Amino acid sequence: LHYFPQAFVSSSTEMSSSKNENIYINNHEVVLYCLERRLCDVNHRDNAGYCALHEACARGWLGIVHHLVENGADVNCSAQDGTRPLHDAVENDHVEVVRLLLACGADPTLTSYSGRAPVDMTHSAAMETFLEGELLLIGGDLQRFVSVS
């Protein structure tokens, strides 16, 4: 197996929404091509320990996240700093990606190595409310999911 193409992600952060959509469509095709032909290691990591699932979660690419997970991507994989795909999705306010990761077994109790829990990474009231509801459903005690600052 070859490494999963990290080049499918553009490094430009200042893109118009139509250009960003075109990049998503092209990337989706590349990901599907590689996955269908088993050309790449779906869990390949770069030098910092990030994999394609981290990037797709950070960008909110729900379709790509679904295909990666369906093809064996580790939903709890950890980068060198302890960042997990769930952290990337929460921090970037992608509720549907978070919902999918949780449904596929992502562990909301895992913190980054600096001790930040997913609920500590929220930037919107909607994400915080969603996460609190999900965490109460699975564990009952929200305090065990919040890091101590």
pLDDT in tens, the chain (149 residues): 334 544 444 333 444 444 444 445 567 777 778 778 877 788 988 889 999 999 999 999 999 999 999 999 999 999 999 999 999 999 999 999 999 999 999 999 899 999 999 989 999 999 999 998 887 777 655 454 455 44
Given a contact cutoff of 8 angstroms between Cβ atoms, the answer to whether 84 and 77 are in contact is yes
Fold of 2-6+14-107: 1.25.40
Handedness of CA 107, 113, 115, 121 (dihedral sign): negative
Give me the residue spans of the domains in the chain: 2-6+14-107
Read off the pTM: 0.77
